[in-house]
Amino acid sequence: MKKYPTLLFIAGLVLLILFQQKLVMPYVHKVIASDLFLVESKDEASQLPISTPLSGIAFMHCNNYIKSELSPDVAIVFPEKPLNAWTLGNYQYLINAEINITGDTSNKGTKKYACRITYNNGDNEEGAYDFDNWSIIGVSGIDNM
């Protein structure tokens, strides 16, 4: 065995590759083909910007969240509608909008932000106006205010 370490290494590598190809990968393909990771909902993803009542509510909740995260001495004005809103499917939204910063702050001007938000109640849209039914996944663009 100590005479042929390279041959032993190559034989082990070949066995590992065969094990992966013949046993592991067929199982992985069966799992991928199954419905294990399928999430069925009426809300399908779209690559194009959308404007739906639920995306408008998501925009409103993102604005309220941003307002609550900023210090009270920062005066901000939100637009009536976002620049763009996309649905990522399964009631997840990506909102892109601008904030006008006014008042006595050093960050005066317009800043763009992106907000990723999820509606937790799925197809039941009755509680859409309640912020407790939403989850903010992340907000970018307001870090320096």
Burial class of residue 95 (count of CB atoms within 10 Å of its CB; 0-12, 13-18, 19+): buried
| Percent of the chain surpassing pLDDT 70 | 93
Q: What is the pLDDT of residues 22-47, one digit of tens each?
A: 999 999 999 888 887 776 777 778 88
Q: What residue ranges do the domains of the chain occupy?
A: 1-38, 53-140
- What's residue 127's pLDDT? 87
- What's residue 24's pLDDT? 94
